[in-house]
Structure formats: C-alpha cells, structure tokens
Structure 1
C-alpha cells in the first residue's frame, strides 16, 4: 500500500510539484480515504521524504549495477549519466526541494557527490588505461558530465527540441568525448 501511495504521489509531484499536490488527490486517484493514507504516512512531508528516498535509492542502485558490468569506461559513464530512476524528478521539483525541503535537498546533494566521485574515479581509470588524454582537467570534465545529466531532467527542454532523453545524452556525451570540431579542421 505504501508503494502505491508513493507511486501515485510521484505522478502528482511530476505534474504539480511538491507544494501543490495534495493528499486528497492521492486518495482520489487510489480510490481510498485520506484516513487510509494517514495510516501509512503521518503527513504529506513523510510522503515527500519517501518519494526522494526511493528516487535516490533507485539511482544509487542503478549506478552500482553499472559499475559491476563489463562495459567500457565511456559506456559506464554514459550509463551513470542515464541512470534509471524509479520516478521522474523534473528540474522544477529539484528547485522546490532546494528552497523548501532542506533535508531532501541534502540527500540529492549527497547523491550528486556520490555520482561525481564515481565518474571522476572512472575518468582517472580511463586516463591510467590510455582511453582518455592524460592532460584533461578531471574536475572540470566530471562537473561537465554531471551538469549534462542534470540538464536532461529538464523535460520541457527535451520536448521543445523533440529529443528523447537517451538520444540527448548520447549526443551530449559524444560532443564531450569526441569534440565538435571536425578532424580536418584541428
């Protein structure tokens, strides 16, 4: 039951944001009373906490699964950027969390740092193995890759440009790894 409540809340959060979705909407969607919801969660904030906890756990799990594969380092970086999440987390929701839900924002920041550290470790390994140029600025490249992944949570950007998330990430990472200047013009 808790999972159904959080899943429904996730849909409403993606649609309305953290502040505007209501327990009444969840009850209506699930065809149950608010009282039943309150038997599982004491407040809307508890539901929001469960939403973020589920999102973060699914992202970490996806990242750890990626690290255990035999894929190439560039493919692992791609897969980490495109980590599968149980829920959509639009940019607007991230902004709301940053302003109004400091505990959830701290969790998002911990996840961001975890992924940044993992990416930097993969890049260092790639340099050691001769995959990447030895003179790259790892901190800058790691940050660029991290910002690339954040950019593709902006579903409005994707819709406006008729891009699917995976296509957009592929293209962005190709630009990062292969550059944008043609070889004959280097």
Structure 2
C-alpha cells in the first residue's frame, strides 16, 4: 500500500505540483480513507520525501548501471544523460523543491554532483583512450551534458518542436559528440 500511495502522489505531483496535491486526492484515487494513508505516512511531507527518495535512488542506480555497461564511452555517457527514473520530475517541481523542500533539494544537488562526477570520469577516460579530443574543457562539457539530461522534462520545448524526449536528447548528444569525436 505504501508504494501505491507514493505512486499516486507522483502522478498528482506531476499534474499539480508539490504544494497543490492533497491527501484527499490520494485517498480518492486509491479509494481508501485518509486514515489508511496515515497508517503508512505521518504527513504529506513524508510522502514527498518518499517520492524524492525513490526518484533519486532509481536515477543513481541507473547511472551506476551505465558506468558498468560493456559498451563505448560515448554510449555510457548517453546512458547517464538518459538515465531512467521511477517517477517523472517536471522542471516546475524542481523550482518548488528548491523553494519549499530544502532537504529534498540538497538530495537532488547531491545526485546532480554524483552524475557530474561520473560524466567527467568518463570524459577523462575517453580522452585517455583517444576517443575524445584532449583540448576540450571538461567542466563546460559536463555542464552541457547535465543540461541536456533535463531537456526531456521541458514539455513546452518538446511540444513546440514536435520531438519525443529521446529524440531531443539523441539529437543534442549527436551534435556534441560529432563535435568532440576524433575523425
């Protein structure tokens, strides 16, 4: 039941944001009482915490799996940029998180740094293997790759350009890699 509550909260968060979804809506969606919710969670904030914990854990696991894949360095970077998440985390929710949930924001920042470090390690490995040019500023390139990974959450951009998330990310990575791969 605990997972069902968080799953339903995730859907409501994606639809309404962190502050506007209610426990009444969760109860209604699951056809349970609020009392049942309180048997599993002490508060709405605890549900929000579980939502972020699941999101961060799934993203970190996906990144770790990408690092151990038996494939090329560019393919590993692609897998990190397009890492899978248990829940959708819209950009608007990130803004709310930063403003109203500082502990969750700190966890997101830790995840961002973890992914940035992993990406920089792969870029260094690619340079050492002769896959990438050695005159590339790794900090700038890492930041670009981080920003690309958020592209699939920018629904307005995707709709406006008639792109699916994977298409947008693939195109951005193609542009970057064609510019840094040796001929």
1:164-175 matches, cutoff 5 A:
164-175=164-175
Distance 1:60 1:144 in 2: 19
2:72 corresponds to which residue?
72
- Following the alignment from structure 1 to structure 2, what is the Cα–Cα distance between the partners of residues 170 and 102? 32
Aligned to 1:103: 103
TM-score (norm 2): 0.96
Match of 2:129 in 1: 129
Aligned to 1:54: 54
Match of 2:82 in 1: 82
Report how far residue 152 of structure 1 moved.
2.1
Counterpart of 1:153?
153
Shift of residue 105, structure 1, vs aligned partner: 0.3
Q: Find the residue that maps to 1:158 and give its secondary structure.
A: helix
Structure 1 segments, 4+ long, off by >3 Å, are: none
Farther off after superposition, 149-158 or 44-53: 149-158
Q: Name 1:91's counterpart in structure 2.
A: 91
C-alpha root-mean-square deviation of aligned residues, in Å?
A: 1.0
Give the SS at the match of 2:89: coil
TM-score of the two chains, using structure 1 as the length reference? 0.95
Q: In the TM superposition, what is the alpha-carbon distance from 1:155 to its structure 2 partner?
A: 2.0
Structure 2 runs not aligned, ≥5 long: none
Q: Which residue of 2 aligns with 1:28?
A: 28
Please say which of residues 12-21 and 156-165 is displaced more in the overlay: 156-165
User: For 1:47 and 1:157, how far apart are their aligned partners in 2?
Assistant: 30
Contact 2:151/2:168, CA 8 A, preserved across alignment: no
Task: Give the number of equivalent residue pairs.
Answer: 180
Residue 47 (structure 1) shift: 0.3
1:161: how far off? 1.6
Q: Distance in 2 between matches of 1:7 and 1:156?
A: 24
Distance 1:52 1:79 in 2: 21
Q: Which runs of 5+ in 1 are unaligned?
A: none
Tell me the residue number matched to 1:44: 44
Question: Is 1:3 aligned with 2:6?
Answer: no
